[in-house]
Structure 1
Amino acid sequence: MELTQSNVKKAWDTWNIQGFILLSLSLQTLLLFLAPCRKRTSNTLVIIFIWFAYSAADWSANFVVGLITNSVIRTPDEKGDLLAFWAPFLLLHLGGSDAITAFSLEDNELWIRYSLGFTFQVLASVYILYLSLLGNKLLFPTILVLLAGTVKCVERVRALYLASMGRFRNSMLKEPDPGPNYSTITNLCSLKQQANLPVRIELMPGPQIVTESYNEFDKSGLSDLAVLQCACNYFYIFKALIVDLVFSLRERNAVRDFFLRRTPEDAFKVIEAELNLVYEVLYTKAYSVRCILGYFLRFISFSSVVVALVRFALMEKQYHKVDVAITYALLLGAMTLDTVAILMLISSDWSVVALKNSNIIRKMVISRQRWFVHRRWSESVPQYNFIHYYLHYPSRMISRIVSFLGLFDFLVNMKNVSSKPFTEKLRDFIFYELQIKAEIADDIETAKVIYSVRGDWVLGINGVEHLFRWINEVSYEESLLLWHIATELLYNSGEGNADDKDFRDMSKLLSDYMLHLLVVRPEITSAMAGIHKIRWQDTLAEAMVHFQGEKLDQKLACERILQVDTSVNPAILKGNRSKSVLFEACVLAKDLEKLENGKWMIIGKVWVEMLSYAASHCRGYTHAQQLSKGGELLTLVWLLMVHFGLGEQFQINEVHASAKLIVGK
């Protein structure tokens, strides 16, 4: 045992720094290539893996700096100058990959903490260099890499600062406008009136605000370049949604007119590209690098590493071969990571718009899109189903064990969440439903009315007002669970007409998606959720009592629920004791079953309205949080509604530039 412990200690003392510095480099490489995937996937395991790499990258870099400092202080031998050369590379790693500066929006708010941490690491590297100054053969390349590492840390802190909500909001505020000089004008007016001179105040209209409408695209579809041009233009207008700012009526009407003339495919392409720009601003270095200062800092960083590599390659080396190989790996790794980051920057959406007249750049982008899957979000719709949840509910013993470990919700949700592709039929269905409402909403008042509907609009248009009570007389979260269970009962009670198949499938998909948002992602629907957790648990408990632990297939379980006699109102029997809606949903399903024609079309349109209501009543900040988790259909619908002019983010008052005092008739 003592021999084994001695061997382990010896191996640790010999290889700990080398092992962890290579681990740090490997994590940076992983993040550069894997981090962009998180905007294209909603897979929980992938997100967790990226989070682990993101957290471990900073930890490992900090840890190695500590190991090097301790080693240089304890044994300042001939290897001290090489260790001092390695230390600044950890600053390069702490500066982070261009592909990910923040894992979540909360990281941006901690930019001061990050800046303090980076400052201490820079000072530690300087201290290590100071300890190895005497006879240091690598002094010049060490200073160069230290400069490059410091620049990288500055880049990351600047990116975090620019993406913080306070700075993000301030960047969109216009110059302070005190308006006309009230006291001077009123005093002058009073003096003129005392002199018995006729006087009046006339408001002068402000300059016309011109909003680009892209009329040249009205007669045909949008090319890839046109999509990016439109997205970039609207990004600068609508990025204010994230911090809950408002827009002028002119901007609302110009964008609305443009989107009313678009096809579903073009409209969603523009929105997806626009959200991709938002993602890059909030979670990557795109915003901080794409400016004169950013280009200058990147040039200094990259050229410093190149010169350090050349200097190290030309000098005589008297170090261990493994240490020399590691040094080359660090130098070449830093160069490669920067080169790949520059290529990604050149082929990004920002560069395509900025360099749209360059044929070389456009050919590079076309080549990239030809060889790689160019998705801007996951293009999937998560699914969660109440009946499936009950039928696959874990046993009491397993529930107690995982609950004790605090993993019950995580494991149960992992087991019950599935995913379906976002189809063109569903995309077109949602688009045309919102387009119809946008055409009606010529004025802000009508837009606000449509913005607030959650199913009753469709029921009223189709003459089924007797179903209003299932929407207007209950809370949003209660109506959502009611309609979900009713949709599931009807879906499993028969195949339906062939003409209704598309509406039937889309209703089922939207129903399961909305339940997923309510149960698995309550932070998204928190403003509308109410007591959804209690209602969910009570409904599950009533299902357990009804089936008495019997495990059936999904179709048979739905048929058994529909067979229950619901002539007596379930709410009367339960009173206020239970919040379950199981058999009230059964009553709703039977009411819907009585509809002769277009049953599934009505149900599908109700679900689109519920989706729209949830999207428009969720804060922009919350929508921005979803961009780093594969994106959400809810976020696309939210932005589409705003582009259609459906919302409360628009100011109506006319802006006057100045007031003029006119004397005389």
Structure 2
Amino acid sequence: MLGVVGLLVLVLLGSYRRQSSRGAVRMITWVAYATCIPMVSYTTGLMQSSPCKNSLFSVWAICLFHILQSTDSLSAYSLKDNDNWKMSQFQQLIPCFWLGWLMGFAWDSDFWFPLSTVFYIALLKAGSRVPSLMSASRRYKLCESTKWVADYMSYEHDLSPTDERNPVTMGAYRYVVSGEDKLKQRKVEPPEYVVKYIEDDRAKLVTVEQIWRCQGSLLRGNGGRAGRLKDVCLSMALSKMLNRRFAGFQTLAESNLDKTHNFLFRGLLHGNSYCERAFRVIEVELAFVHDCFYTKYPLIYGTAHHVFVVLSFAMVPLCGWLAYNLIHAFKRNWDALITFLFVIVIALVEGLQVCIYLASAWCKVALVSNYVVRDSWNSREWVAKLIGCITSLNFFRSWEDKLGQYTLLKYFHYKPINFLHRVTFCLVDKTERGHKEGERVRLSMDVKEAVMETLKRSNGELTNGVTSLQANGVLQSLSSPCTNLATTTHTIMAWHIATTLCEVHDPVPRYQPSEEQQRHMETTNRHVACRLSNYCAYLVAFAPELLPDHSFVSQSIFDALVDEATQLLKGVKTLEQRCEKLREMGAAIEQDDNRLIMLGARLGNQLILGIDDPSLRWKVLCDFWAEMMLYIAPSNDATAHLEFLPRGGEFITHLWALLTHGGILERTPVPPHNI
């Protein structure tokens, strides 16, 4: 029973966990993942040593072994599991040995044939887990499997004439979608020592340019279903390019090309609904990346004729056949009835996995790629309709699509009990003082549009908020410490405190019906500024690895700031009272007090007293935080972003990937007084 429950947990949460940041989801998934192998090994060994030999032992053993190997939506819980693929292979050998021995109990039974067929399919599916771990291991095959992308992108821009480049129609953008597994391995040649494929080999590749040029009815046009299918294929191509950063290829050959810059600023950020489309492409791209490192899907869809999909299809009728024979062979036998139910549940789970296959973006890419290269497909209307029906299936959204929130002046006094940390012998992480996450909020389109509009205006020149302050004409009215701080963490937390003071000071605006447009703008700016301010503070407190500063530097600054707030605001209960007292202290204490909390208080006073118009004040804050989000997004620590993908994903990771594809790998150097 526990095995079947574990299988259901792994199948469902394996696909769901990237859409949830909840600690309970991670804990349940980890428990199911960690206990499956020991449970199967122990139980099969117990069956072997039992003095009473039951003919159903072989069926139970097959069910347990199948539970262990059949979960395709979760091959690795963490990145370390990929590097420990040898241990995983060794752990599989023990139940395989006992399973072969227990199969002898059913040799002369009526259900031998369906059981043996299920056994062989389970063995074949068992062989898929270790290769999927190996392919995602940076110590083993990840670098080898991404090296060809790095080499290909070093000369991809020379494959087409310059005048054919069009980031809207994807002309001359030969980013590879599929087909690389069909190419022959070629030797590197001097002087570059990169793999260069000849024309015949490149003809086997399916590229973004080919898909956009396909005239079949399935892909005709750039809107509606056709546009979405094209964008899914574009996401696949971009994910293969992004995987180079996870493999350690920090130098991207195409990053300095105008073609790459234009792809982002004249392609993805082009059109009326560019914001929605850009984030949709990046969201699906990161879903592909997640699957490459944590699931079996790359191996399943990279196998010729998708043999593992066929095996899952076959398991459904085979389990039904086995269940039918069990009932007839053991009438009025409670053990057989329970076994019958287990087999039925396994059949249902396999059917669920088949549905997940068909609804996945991997299936969409596989079908569209075949549609493009096969004239017999793209010339027939019924094929287009069939593929259209299959690709219309959607089970899960890509990500949680929420922003973490933290307000320092609200939660600095939080003192965790850490009961679970103690009773689980440190298996549950310890919560530090002041670390209480606020309620996560939906990532609204207003926030996305504010950041994307700032990106378009910047044209890739990222600064730490100074540009927005200059554009709004308020830079000179603010004292230099507002931007002249030692680290990015200093700047984030000072402006976060100031934004909190402004939020408490300014009541929700009320306008006359004739002033609806002004009300909407101020409300939107206020919403964006507060959401991004609290999100950046959340990153400092809970995800410092994703910020430009060293994570320990950010943690040290945050802990010191919690101590300062505790000392200065001791005994003050409500957020409103704390903000009022902090403003009073910021106005009274000397200007040479360089405590970070006082810098934030003085900045808040400058924003409130120096900018009389609340509408302008919130526009200044909105523009500042949108610019700051882009400024902190570039990072060379790709592993940190990868580790957050199974936890619901982070908004900063989406921006990081988006900037990467525009060739923006680092921040624009700024004068020392603006650092």
2:644 matched residue in structure 1: 626
TM-score, normalised to structure 1, is 0.77
- Distance in 2 (alpha carbons) for counterparts of 1:543 and 1:646: 37
Amino acid at match of 2:386: I
1:122 matched residue in structure 2: 96
1:228 matched residue in structure 2: 232
1:261 matched residue in structure 2: 270
Contact 1:144/1:304 (<8 A) preserved: no
Question: Which sits farther off after the overlay, 245-254 or 42-51?
Answer: 245-254
Q: CA deviation at 1:492?
A: 0.9
Return the match for 2:133 from 160, 166, 182. 160
C-alpha spacing 1:49/1:462, structure 2 compared with 1 (3 Å)? same
Question: Which sits farther off after the overlay, 135-144 or 488-497?
Answer: 135-144
1:244-643 alignment, distance < 5 Å: 244-245=248-249, 246-248=252-254, 249=257, 252-253=260-261, 255-256=263-264, 257-262=266-271, 263-293=274-304, 295-299=306-310, 303=314, 306-307=317-318, 310=321, 313-314=324-325, 317-318=329-330, 321-356=333-368, 358-366=384-392, 368-369=393-394, 374-390=396-412, 393-394=414-415, 409-410=430-431, 415-438=436-459, 441=460, 450-451=461-462, 453-463=463-473, 464=475, 467-495=479-507, 498=519, 499-525=521-547, 527-547=549-569, 549-564=570-585, 566=587, 569=590, 572-573=592-593, 580-593=595-608, 594-596=610-612, 598-617=616-635, 619-643=637-661
Amino acid at match of 1:535: I
Contact 1:383/1:513 (<8 A) preserved: yes
Return the match for 1:75 from 23, 40, 52. 52
Partner-residue secondary structure (3-state), 1:588: helix
Amino acid at match of 2:600: A
Return the match for 2:13 from 34, 37, 44. 34
Q: Rg: which structure is higher?
A: 1
2:673 matched residue in structure 1: none
Q: Does residue 147 in structure 1 map to residue 147 in structure 2?
A: no
Q: CA deviation at 1:178?
A: 3.1
Q: Does residue 66 in structure 1 map to residue 37 in structure 2?
A: no
C-alpha spacing 1:491/1:311, structure 2 compared with 1 (3 Å)? closer
Contact 2:208/2:237 (<8 A) preserved: no
2:161 matched residue in structure 1: none
- Distance in 2 (alpha carbons) for counterparts of 1:543 and 1:389: 10
- Distance in 1 (alpha carbons) for counterparts of 2:133 and 2:27: 21
Q: CA deviation at 1:519?
A: 0.8
- Distance in 2 (alpha carbons) for counterparts of 1:556 and 1:632: 32
Q: CA deviation at 1:620?
A: 2.3
Amino acid at match of 2:577: L
Q: Does residue 212 in structure 1 map to residue 234 in structure 2?
A: no
Contact 1:144/1:305 (<8 A) preserved: no
C-alpha spacing 1:421/1:119, structure 2 compared with 1 (3 Å)? same
Identity %: 20
Aligned residues: 572
Q: Which runs of 5+ in 1 are unaligned?
A: 1-21, 183-206, 442-449, 575-579, 650-665
Partner-residue secondary structure (3-state), 1:410: coil
- Distance in 1 (alpha carbons) for counterparts of 2:641 and 2:385: 36
C-alpha spacing 1:581/1:226, structure 2 compared with 1 (3 Å)? same
- Distance in 2 (alpha carbons) for counterparts of 1:173 and 1:361: 33
Q: CA deviation at 1:617?
A: 1.9
TM-score, normalised to structure 2, is 0.76
Contact 2:20/2:647 (<8 A) preserved: yes
Amino acid at match of 2:634: S
Q: Which runs of 5+ in 2 are unaligned?
A: 149-185, 194-201, 214-218, 369-382, 510-518, 668-675
- Distance in 1 (alpha carbons) for counterparts of 2:662 and 2:262: 10
Question: Which sits farther off after the overlay, 117-126 or 141-150?
Answer: 141-150
- Distance in 1 (alpha carbons) for counterparts of 2:192 and 2:302: 38
Q: CA deviation at 1:543?
A: 2.4
Residues 95-139 of structure 1, C-alpha deviations (whole Å, 9 max, x = no match): 141221122222222211111111222112123335x48866665
Q: CA deviation at 1:154?
A: 0.8
Contact 2:494/2:599 (<8 A) preserved: yes
C-alpha spacing 1:359/1:58, structure 2 compared with 1 (3 Å)? farther
Higher relative contact order (CA 8 A, sep 6+): 1
C-alpha spacing 1:471/1:177, structure 2 compared with 1 (3 Å)? farther
Partner-residue secondary structure (3-state), 2:329: coil
Contact 1:89/1:145 (<8 A) preserved: no
- Distance in 2 (alpha carbons) for counterparts of 1:420 and 1:164: 34
1:190 matched residue in structure 2: none
- Distance in 1 (alpha carbons) for counterparts of 2:96 and 2:68: 10
